[in-house]
Amino acid sequence: MRPKLPEQAREYTEFFGFVFGPEPYSLIAMSDKLTEIIAWKRQEIASRLRPVTEDDLAKLDASLPRPPSFAAALQRSDGKLAVIAEIKRRSPSAGAIREGISATEQALRYQAAGASALSVLTDEKFFGGSLDDLRAVTAQFREKTPALPCLRKDFMVHPVQIAEAREAGASAILIIVRALNDEEIKVLFTLARAAGLDSLFEIHNEAELERALHHGAKIIGVNNRDLSIFKTDLSLSERLIPKFPRAVIAVSESGIFNGTDAARVHEAGAHAVLVGEALMKAPAPAHLIADFRK
């Protein structure tokens, strides 16, 4: 049974039904945990909902400093893996990882360790992050160059989250293909471009890869974690990444803990890995990142 949306969210969904479909929830079947998270996310942002147009986001983009390119950071000239280092205090699968850690201090550790880009969790309920983490990290990079591009890692369901990401200094957003219907994906991807943001499309199977490519995705990440049972299997990247078109930037996400894991997905064609838990727990992130690139 679906959770009941707050009145404001129901009214907004009905008013903008031409964009987000007649139902307030995606018509795409999802795992139980992802369904729970997405349902909560829609309720969480209900009080912040407002009309956000392509023109609004283009004006916002023009009014703010240009963030560093996320896509460019994932394309290393030496052919070695780019590393997207994630700031993640906890997760539904791992539980507490490093509760209470300072996002800005961890960002500086990652920068010193040679990370190519950052992923900053901004979901509070399930991952212990916040938009304030993203704001603080990007503000810090404006003072300490060179800046690392930051992905706003959250469950994107509405254009207002894109405006928030751009205002907070992000370089990219996450689009989870399984969590959205095609009209929602089209709107979020179009408006992200208007805001000057890259989009990382996250997929789990061949059907989702086809949907991402249909929308013109330039960066696609394979999540090696099955969100229904939280089992991680690197063979998912090994199966899917070779099917990517050559021009697509391939990212392998989840389950990368050492150089052997990184070598497996690199051999499959990954240009980058997104690593959270292992780097958050590593006493010396620089050593682990160097191991990923051997």
Which member of 26, 91, 116, 153 is catalytic?
Answer: 153
* pLDDT computed for residue 9 by the predictor: 39
Note whether 129 and 87 are within 8 A (CB): yes
* pLDDT computed for residue 143 by the predictor: 81
Q: 117: which 2 tokens?
A: 């880009």
Q: Among this protein's residues, is 167 annotated catalytic?
A: no
Note whether 255 and 234 are within 8 A (CB): yes
Checking if the pLDDT of 12 tops 70, the result is: no
* pLDDT computed for residue 25 by the predictor: 37
Domains of the chain listed by start with CATH number: 7-48 (no CATH), 54-292 (3.20.20.70)
Mean local confidence (pLDDT), 266-283: 97
Q: Mean pLDDT, the chain, as a whole number?
A: 90
User: Burial of 221 by CB count in 10 Å (0-12 exposed, 13-18 middle, 19+ buried)?
Assistant: buried
Which member of 26, 171, 237, 254 is catalytic?
Answer: 254
> Looking at per-residue confidence, does 200 or 2 come out higher?
200
* pLDDT computed for residue 145 by the predictor: 73
Q: Among this protein's residues, is 125 annotated catalytic?
A: no
Mean local confidence (pLDDT), 249-264: 97
Which member of 26, 86, 199, 252 is catalytic?
Answer: 86
Q: Where residue 92 falls among pLDDT bands split at 50, 70, 90? A: confident
Checking if the pLDDT of 6 tops 80, the result is: no
Residue appearing with tokens 């990142």:
289
Mean local confidence (pLDDT), 186-195: 98
Q: Where residue 29 falls among pLDDT bands split at 50, 70, 90? A: very low
d(CA 167, CA 164): 5
230-245: per-residue pLDDT in tens? Answer: 789 999 999 999 999 9
**pTM for this entry:** 0.89
Residues in contact with 32: Cβ distance below 8 Å, sequence separation at least 6, in sequence order: 228
Checking if the pLDDT of 114 tops 60, the result is: yes
Which member of 26, 119, 171, 223 is catalytic?
Answer: 223
Mean local confidence (pLDDT), 25-42: 72
Q: Among this protein's residues, is 86 annotated catalytic?
A: yes
* pLDDT computed for residue 14 by the predictor: 35
